[in-house]
Structure 1
């Protein structure tokens, strides 16, 4: 019987889980924000001015869960929340200047830490990026084919 812990799928999951924990610790220590909330801010930056519902779908969480996250980020001065005129309770989201700064600084922090880890491991980050991007594209294609 093959030891599961040496299989690539297990190893990748283990790596990602450990990277998520490390990212959470770095962001909490350096910017007082969780990695989960940081990912929401990154999604808002990428999407432009999404509605709360669009953001919930993007992050694959329920509308009530996203509502709580949005409220917390707005209370922290990181998200601007505006009611969309004529659309009931729909709310458009955007980064505040403080939110933009956090996304930039947090991204730099995580990228620098990852590059340092890759260097210690003897794997240049740019070399690692190519197969990872190829796998992400393949997953996107598979998801598109099953939709």
Structure 2
């Protein structure tokens, strides 16, 4: 039988998970209308350098056909480029264009502005609590 502490940890864990999901969803959907959230994720993955469509699909945990559709839209919008793989002629590499980099910058700026406007409304005490909570969440995420 679970102890009161076990039940308390379970309840806190669920509340925390739901709060994090809600914040993440709000930041993604309320602050960005230029590219869909899944498209932004692909652009961000390519910021470190070119990848194959297969690698992107694996990283994003989506099917190859789904990734192909996403990449086609982003290439058509001028945010990504396709180029021949230098070591394997059967593959292509996907990379960001200058327009893709600018889209990342604008999207991040809008997301930051959305969050800043919400945090600015909080009391100093609440901000201090969030500072401590951010450090704790970073430790949880790193494990």
Question: What TM-score results when the alignment is normalised by the length of structure 1?
Answer: 0.75
Does structure 1 residue 13 correspond to structure 2 residue 14? no
Contact 1:50 1:94 in 2 (8 A): yes
CA contact (8 A) 1:24 1:35 kept: yes
Structure 1 residue aligned with 2:138: 133
Separation of aligned partners in 2, 1:135 and 1:98: 35
The structure number with the bigger radius of gyration is: 2
* Partner in structure 2 of residue 71 of structure 1: 72
Higher RCO, 1 vs 2 (CA within 8 Å, ≥6 residues apart)? 2
Cα deviation 1:22-45 (Å, max 9, x = unaligned)? 2223211xxx21112111111111
Aligned-partner Cα distance in 2 for 1:129–1:90:
41
Q: RMSD over aligned Cα, in angstroms?
A: 2.6
Long gaps (5+) in structure 1: 139-147
- In the alignment, structure 1 residue 39 sits paired with structure 2 residue 41: yes
Query: How much does 1:112 deviate?
Result: 2.6
Match of 1:52 in 2: 53
